[in-house]
Amino acid sequence: MLNETILHHRRGIGSGLAFVVSGPSGAGKNSVIDRVMQDLPGLSYSVSYTTRPPRPHEVPGRDYHFISHDEFERLITAGELVEHVQYLGDYYGTGQAQIKEVFAHGEDVILNIDVNGAKTLREKGLLRFTVVYVFLATSSLTVLANRLRARGTENEQEIEARLAVATRELAAIPMFDYLVINDELDQAVEELAGIVTAERARIIP
Ligand code: 5GP
């Protein structure tokens, strides 16, 4: 009996925690999130909607729900998105239904969204979730540029556009709760996993 009482004092898994991971394109958010989800139980990935075309290795429904501009605008009008942005000419947004489903399954959710989406959630909140904001970056823009070029999924013009966005995004770091540097994948994974674990161990006031 006493043990149960003690556990009630901490958040634990699936208590309605949402981890928002933002940061420049190319900083490695997907790789870090994938590894943390393999390492820790009870985490569910929020699959966003986007109008951008799939990259060769991307799987519809796993990486994104790839939809048309018209379909996206219908979701906005129907109020089915908790946040959405336009990023370099395409729409990206988070579905309300998916977030609710994670909550119903007793898991915590990880969102991979841009800085403007994170700002919206800071202002509006995210349903009944307690949101933890994590900024993931490389230690410099030079490292980021090298990473984007090595990835080879965008042409030089698109890379320049992503670097310009990244420069603006860095100014938003102070609105986040944590800053994880991903120059070395294993270390970034350890840090993000550490953040999730620490937040789950928080005492409920
Ligand atoms: P990419 O085209 O590289 O997959 O994504 C471009 C940017 O859009 C990334 O910074 C990514 O985090 C962000 N993004 C992906 N899904 C969403 C979303 O649902 N909402 C917002 N606000 N940004 C998103």
Residue 205 pLDDT > 90: no
Asked whether residue 5 is domain-assigned, the answer is: no
Cα of 204 vs centre of ligand 1, distance in Å, is 31
Task: Ligand 1, residue 25: give the atom nearest the CA.
Answer: 10
The pLDDT value given to residue 151: 84
pTM for the whole thing? 0.94
Asked whether residue 134 is domain-assigned, the answer is: yes
- CATH number for 85: 3.40.50.300
Asked whether residue 189 is domain-assigned, the answer is: yes
Tally of domains within the chain: 1
Q: SS3 letters for the chain?
A: CHHHHHHCCECCCCCCEEEEEECCCCCCHHHHHHHHHHHCCCEEECCEEECCCCCCCCCECCCEEECCHHHHHHHHHCCCEEEEEEECCEEEEEEHHHHHHHHHCCCEEEEECCHHHHHHHHHHCCCCCEEEEEEEECCCHHHHHHHHHHHCCCCHHHHHHHHHHHHHHHCCHHHCCEEEECCCHHHHHHHHHHHHHHHHCCECC
The tens digit of pLDDT for each residue in 35-72 reads 999 999 999 999 999 999 999 999 999 999 999 999 99
Supply the range of the domain harboring residue 193: 12-200
The tens digit of pLDDT for each residue in 119-172 reads 999 999 998 899 999 999 999 999 999 999 998 888 999 999 999 999 999 999
Asked whether residue 175 is domain-assigned, the answer is: yes
Cα of 24 vs centre of ligand 1, distance in Å, is 9
Asked whether residue 7 is domain-assigned, the answer is: no
Asked whether residue 4 is domain-assigned, the answer is: no
Shortest-distance Cα residue to atom 2 of ligand 1: 52
Distance CA 51, CA 111 (A): 18
Asked whether residue 205 is domain-assigned, the answer is: no
Q: Which two tokens stand for residue 161?
A: 């556009």
